[in-house]
A and B are shown apart, each in its own frame.
Chain A
Amino acid sequence: MTTILRKPASLRVPAGVIALIVVLALGPRVLSTAALLNVQDAVGLALFACATNLLIGYGGLVSFGQGAFYGIGAYTVALAWMHLNASFWVTLVVAPVVGGVAALAVGLLALRTRQLYFALLTLAVSQLLYVIVQQQESFTGGADGVFGPMLPGFLLNPGNAYWFTLAVAAIGLLVLWQITRSPFGMTLRAIRENRERAEALGVNVFLHQLLAFTFSGFFCALAGVLYVVWGQSANPNLFSWTESGYPIFMAVLGGQYMFLGPALGALIYEQARDVLLASFSDSQLVFGAVLLVIILAAPDGVAGLLNRGRRLLARRWPGLAPATSRAAAAARASGGQDTKPDGRPETAVR
């Protein structure tokens, strides 16, 4: 692919982020406080989901334990306030670093295992923290968690808290996006596609995966800080395996092979959950059925569906096609191969 064709594609993510921010920034003007809190929660979870997807979608590493770093981020803020009376603005910076260091330590151990063993080992680590936080009541507040005025006055205003969350999440997402398109991110994808070949080319696979795990832990912990801004508390459930499941489902729902797919999944999930809870008594059943249909019918999530729809329209109006599809159309016209044999959209980050 030539560099000329690549440029519009690379502009799409910042354009998407900016468009999303513009839409979301209207929030305080049009939404009720309850709805605003809901969107704020979804924005924090979007960062959590995209940070987790650095491992799942880009690294091919299914971690079922990112809740550990999410919890570490939230508890760093809460415990530093409880025991040291530390300022939130200090812990805002410290918490992601603690999450990153913890991830580095866990990664050193967990990355020795592969595939399902990796998923289950990361799950065990987060469950271990979950039970320890629950049991060591004198230090962590036990099963009730930590409550109290841990936030500065500025963030007690719902509008300010919303804006702050939006800004932090946007910066986090842009940095994550820069990581995915850096040579490092490309190598990570190469490892996912063919570990042996990458190794044979001289890539230090372990080091790349360890770095990815560390970055992911850093941003998961940052999302954990945003949880505190939202919930004004920290509780042990943040560490549990069900919490670790959320970003995975958001990635699957939104589309794990696109950078903003998991963020889209988080926004959809948060809004859909409220509708489901309000209109069905069996909300889990409906959610399970939706997940089932997505995996079986749309393995690239909502983002994949959007792309597919766009390409369908592009057959009639070529101007609508994504840049890469236009290249494919040109290749088709010149007799080359068109879609990939496995049917994945060409714009997918593969």
Chain B
Amino acid sequence: MSHYLITFLSALTEASALFIAAAGLTLVFGALRIINIAHGSFYAFGAFAATTLVGGAAGGWRFWLALLAVPFAVAVLGGVTEISVLRRVYGKDHLAQLVVTYALFLIFGDIMLRLWGSAARSVPVPSALAGSITLGGGEFPVYDLFAIGAAAGVGLALWALLQRTTLGWRIRAAVEDRELLASAGTNVPLLFTTVFVIGTLLAALAGVLAAPLESVAPGLDASIIISAFIVSVIGGLGSVAGAAIGALVIALFNTVGVLWAPTWEPAFIYLAMIAVLALRPWGLLGTAER
């Protein structure tokens, strides 16, 4: 019993940062119709900035400062990127948009390499969340529970934002029909910048949150963007609830795969994605591309 509970909670921990990152990616796609490869860079920016802010010290307040300040700092970078580069490619084809965000990914990658070097870094767990607690007979780290709680909190906040605020229904309307929204008087370019800033914020937040759980090294941007793509495609591009389901599916596949078939484990997430798209070509909760 405890064995299954701990396995499930480990999967939930893995799913938490993945969900937050994928929610940002899918939100941006839903409104802007852009697959943002540089989303992975914003995640890595968050994680690397956390290593600098927290440093080697396990002291409490520095981590909380990073968790609050880093996402907003990276979000400013996101806003500048959207206004200066992405606005120029909205009218172009998917290929141009993919190549532009890939170019940004390459540029940001080299900037990070220059700023933080190629050595792997780590972020200590804040002292308030150190140690582990006993759950149903098994030991489970407190920080992992915090990460799960944070992901649930972000999910609820996004739900409230999208369902209960004016900004939220504007974003949902942009997903449906941006021309109609513009003719109804909404400043669509400003809305797009806002959505992109929120997406960037989520990516960086996920990066900070995941920093104590993984080694922060070059290549983090590439590995998270592939996972986030798969999660949001399985869930259906544009659907935040889909991202939650996708993150859970992928994390469960990974956690169970490592236990049962270690040599085939890396293949599972791709098989899961291929299987979902074979049955539902637009993802679990997505709508068919027009």
> Given the complex, which residues of A lie within 8 Å of B249, measured CB to CB?
none
Tell me if A120 and B233 are in contact (CB < 8 A): yes
Partner of A116, one of B35, B104, B270, B271: B35
Residues of A within 8 A of B229 (CB): 120, 123
Among A116, A252, A291, the residue within 8 A (CB) of B94 is: A116
B-chain residues with CB within 8 Å of residue A206 when the two chains form the complex:
none
Interface membership of B111, Cβ < 8 A: yes
Judge whether B270 and A124 touch: CB under 8 Å. Answer: yes
Chain B residues with CB under 8 Å of A114's CB are: 281, 288-289
Asked if B92 lies at the interface with its beta carbon under 8 angstroms from chain A, I say yes
CA distance A109 to B274 in the complex (A): 9
- Residue A249 is within 8 A (CB to CB) of chain B in the complex: yes
In whole Å, how far is B94's beta carbon from the nearest beta carbon of chain A?
6
Contact with B along A256-268 (1 / 0, CB 8 A): 1000000000000
Is the contact region of chain B dominated by helix, strand, or loop, or is it mixed? helix
Query: Taking CB as reference atom, which chain A residue is nearest B105?
Result: A288
B102 CB-CB contact with A under 8 Å? yes
A284 on the B face (CB < 8 A): yes
Interface residues of A in 91-135 (CB under 8 A from B): 109, 112-117, 119-121, 123-125, 127-128, 131-132, 134-135
- Does chain B have a CB within 8 A of A241? yes
B27 at the interface (CB under 8 A from A): no
Interface stretch (choices A15-23, A209-217, A292-300, A315-323)? A292-300
Stretch of B49-57, B128-136, B189-197, B259-267 that contacts chain A: B259-267
Centre residue among A256, A287, A291 by max chain B CB count within 10 A: A291
Q: Which of B89, B266, B283 contacts A131 (CB 8 A)?
A: B266
The answer to whether A115 and B94 have CB atoms under 8 Å apart is yes
* Cβ 8 A contact of A62, one of B98, B105, B274, B283: B98
- A299 x B110 contact (CB < 8 A): no
Residues of A in contact (CB 8 Å), total 41
| CB-contact partner of B103 in A56, A121, A131, A292, under 8 A | A292
Is A291 within 8 A of B99, CB to CB? yes
Which residue on B lies nearest to A288, using beta carbons?
Answer: B106
- Interface positions of B from 254 to 281, Cβ below 8 Å from A: 263-264, 266-267, 270-271, 273-274, 277-278, 281
How distant is the Cα of A150 from the Cα of B111 in the complex, in angstroms? 41
Residues on the B chain within 8 Å of A119, using CB: 35, 94, 98
Label chain A's interface by main secondary structure: helix
- Would you give the 0/1 interface string for A128-153, flagging 1 where the beta carbon is closer than 8 Å to chain B? 10011011100000000000000000
B104 to chain A, nearest CB (A): 7
B95 at the A interface (CB under 8 A): yes
**B95 touching A252 by the CB < 8 A rule?**
yes
B8 at the interface (CB under 8 A from A): no
Q: Are B278 and A109 in contact (CB under 8 A)?
A: yes
List chain B residues, Cβ under 8 A from A256: 95
Chain A residues with Cβ below 8 Å from B283 are 117
Q: In the bound complex, what is the Cα–Cα distance between A324 and B213 (angstroms)?
A: 61
Measured in the bound complex, the distance between the Cα atoms of B37 and A245 in whole Å is 12
Q: Is A248 an interface residue (CB 8 A)?
A: yes
Instruction: Determine whether the beta carbon of A128 is less than 8 Å from that of B107.
Output: no
Please, how many angstroms separate the alpha-carbon atoms of A283 and B273 in the complex?
A: 33
Chain A, 218-259, contact with B by CB distance < 8 Å: what is the 0/1 string? 000000000000000000000001000100110010001000
Q: Once the chains bind, are A128 and B110 in contact (CB under 8 Å)?
A: no
Report B-chain residues with C-beta under 8 Å of the C-beta of A248.
95, 98-99
Q: Does B109 contact A (CB under 8 A)?
A: yes
Question: Does B100 make an interface contact (CB < 8 A)?
Answer: yes
Contact sample, A vs B, 14 pairs, CB 8 Å cutoff: A56-B95, A112-B277, A116-B289, A121-B274, A124-B273, A128-B274, A134-B266, A284-B107, A284-B110, A285-B110, A285-B111, A289-B107, A292-B85, A295-B89
Closest 4 CB pairs of A and B: A288-B106, A285-B110, A128-B270, A291-B103
7 new A-B contacts at CB < 8 Å, known A283-B110, A289-B103: A56-B95, A117-B281, A125-B274, A248-B95, A284-B109, A288-B102, A291-B99
